[in-house]
Amino acid sequence: AADLSETDRRKNEFLATLAHELRNPLAPMSNMLEVLKRSDGNTEIIKRAYDIIERQLGQMVRLVDDLLDLNRITYDRLELRPIEVKLSSVIHQAIEASRPLLESAGHDLIVDLPDEPIYLNADPARLAQVFGNLLNNSSKYTQPNGSISISERRIGEEAVVTVKDDGA
């Protein structure tokens, strides 16, 4: 009974997290569809919108794949898919996903990235989720028109990403 209860708790936690994560890519996709409607054939705007929609759709596919992986729930495993990735591109993806929430609250977002790129062997989708969640939480707990910053630094052999806000 204890094992079933624990499995059920993990399943419910997983589903709640996944439902939250599935909503994140929808806002940028919706915004870009509106941008496409108003683009008046501007190829630069159309290309940018398509790129954003494509990235966010990839994120949604990844999340749906997670939903279908019931084995993950049962054994409490998280499957990471590491590749070589530029950290700043992951941060930009997280910002893109969080932008609607940041803009609706009128927050000033300060992005501080080094000139020399930092490359990681990491799962870019999972990292973007983590950074996006941090930015979303900062936005939620910062008064309207507040200030939020995200920075990336190399300290020795480590990459350090910091999210700061002037909220509660």
Res. 71: pLDDT tops 70: no
Check residue 134 and give its pLDDT: 94
- Residue 107 has what DSSP assignment? P
- Residue 85 has what DSSP assignment? E
Check residue 159 and give its pLDDT: 96
- Kindly indicate the confidence band of residue 78, based on its pLDDT and cuts at 50, 70 and 90: low
- Kindly indicate the confidence band of residue 104, based on its pLDDT and cuts at 50, 70 and 90: confident
Per-position b or e across 27-52, b if 16+ CB within 10 A of its CB: bbbebbeebeeebeeeeeeeeebeeb
